Amino acid sequence: MHSQENATPGYMKIQHYVSEKIRSGEYPVGGKIPSETELAEQFSVSRITANKAIKEMALMGLLERVRGRGTFVCAHPHLSTSAKAFASAVKLDVTGSRHHQLLQFRVMGAYPELAERAKVEEGTPFYEIILANKDGERNESLDYTYIPCSLIDDITPTLDYLRSHFVFDYLRIQPGLEPRFLKVFINLPQYDFLQSASRFVDGADSMSVWCTDVYDATMDLMAATYTAYPGDARDIPLFTFAL
């Protein structure tokens, strides 16, 4: 776990720290959090890194920055206008003849990279759902989706819903779950657990990878979807936005 901690980007360490303090009540709603300078010193990062962490949490509606006064905790139900628009409008592009084929479903223990992402122990049970994004009869790319088993007792009756909906929408219809935020990471390494993509996607001698993470109001990871596509692919849509 020590190596995982060291590998976590500094701005994410700050975000996790602040989120935990908010959740525990140590930073109450309306309360002031430490300054960016103090956080930068505490986590041995630059002021720019601390600013990135706090700025992103403010955009999500978790914090409010007041010029000349500092940064304060917002009520959890609050979302900034931009965060609302982003979180409610994102859909996978499933128009035309495009559809998704279920290639694999299983329960597995979290890989080291996934455990680091979710801040859990390696081997923690996750659902693994591998979908082929189809363009006619051709596999255009693969989605590897991972959802903690602790969130949903039995995912099998609703698997078909994931063939035509983004995981954010899937989680939103599950009882007791409230996904709030998305983060998209591009240019990820082709981790070992993604190697099977080359068997299913034509011309995939080299793969490019992005990851879409879904979080709840306290920034706990609810799902991670790694999308692998041929490195020479062009015009691959990340999302379609309803405006």
Q: What is the pLDDT of residues 143-165, one digit of tens each?
A: 999 999 999 999 988 888 887 77
Q: Which of 8-17, 27-36, 132-141, 184-193 has the least mean pLDDT? A: 132-141
Convert the pLDDT of each residue in 91-118 to its tens digit: 333 333 346 788 889 999 999 999 999 9
pLDDT at position 202 is 63
Q: pTM of the full predicted structure?
A: 0.63
DSSP the chain: -HHHHHHS-HHHHHHHHHHHHHHHTSS-TTPBPPPHHHHHHHTT--HHHHHHHHHHHHHTTSEEEETTTEEEEPPTT---HHHHHHHHHEE----TT-EEEEEEEEEEEPPHHHHHHHT--TT-EEEEEEEEEEETTEEEEEEEEEEETTT-S--GGGGGGGGTS-HHHHHHTSTT----EEEEEEEE---GGGTTHHHHSTT-SSEEEEEEEEE-TT--EEEEEEEEEETT--S--S-EE--
Confidence of residue 204 (pLDDT cuts 50, 70, 90): low
